[in-house]
Amino acid sequence: MKRGRKELTYEVLDNAQILVKKIVDSFPDLFWYIQPDKIMVLGIQNDPPKSKNWIARISPISGVFKALAEKNKWLTKFVIETYSMDWNEMSEKEKAWIMFHELLHVVAMKTTKMFKHDVLDFSCIVKKLGVNNYSNPDITDLFGVKFDEDFVNQRRDYIQKQLEKIEGKQS
């Protein structure tokens, strides 16, 4: 698949797919609206990252990814991309926080709208880990974290309003 001038080679990261499901199942108050089977995690195999700050990105399926999904009858709505080389070197705790972060971007499964990094939701990660702290060897285990009830309620209310807007537009 080509992006820019370089042809990229991808692999499906099955362990990341399992991790996405585990995160959604472990945090139903945060991700009740996310369908993990509609999120595909791909590792870029042949192109090293150009920035140390770029770890992963989630995007609504489009372009070549959409064509591949339709051809293969995949139900994919979103694609998370990461670099296979980096992914394979990350600890399990790092991987969990990275996937959690990417899932926070999803507004709804029925829209291409995504949350930006300046949205309040990402403060929950900073509160638990600090800034740019994914690679800390003593990183907190995501699955041992309890999120503040106010944060959970604010997020649920905001997501619900977004879903109502989407439903209203589709009527």
pLDDT tens-place string over residues 16-73: 999 999 999 999 999 999 999 999 999 998 877 676 667 898 999 988 888 888 888 8
22, with CB counted inside 10 A (0-12, 13-18, 19+), is middle
Cα–chain-centroid distance for residue 144? 19
Total-model pTM: 0.86
Q: Which of 48, 37, 51, 57 is nearest to 99 (CA)?
A: 57
Mean pLDDT of 69-89: 89
38 or 126: which leads in pLDDT: 38
Distance separating alpha carbons of residues 111 and 107, to the nearest angstrom: 7
Strands 39-44 and 78-83: parallel
